Structure 1
């Protein structure tokens, strides 16, 4: 997934992947640090009470 994010980041900036500079990599790493994280509910820990009971 990170490689896909890298390519999309470069594409958004209009930079070809083979022309990316260390500065682009630095900006990407910083963006990854500050970007909001998506939290997803694990399939085994449903909050609605659904699923098999043990």
Structure 2
């Protein structure tokens, strides 16, 4: 997921540099959404890991 967010970020930067502001804004929004989803999934897994660790002890 983070890989795709990074890819869309690079596409956004390149298209912004070339002057395609509409495409740049769209890909930046997609990258931001993918990054947010990745962070949420990461936090869920961290909470699950702590819960599993406390269940074992």
* TM class by smaller structure: 0.3 to 0.5
Q: If you compute each CA radius of gyration, which structure gives the higher value, 1 or 2? A: 1
User: Could you tell me the TM-score, scaled by structure 1's length?
Assistant: 0.37
Higher helix share: 2
With the length of structure 2 as denominator, give the TM-score of the two structures: 0.37
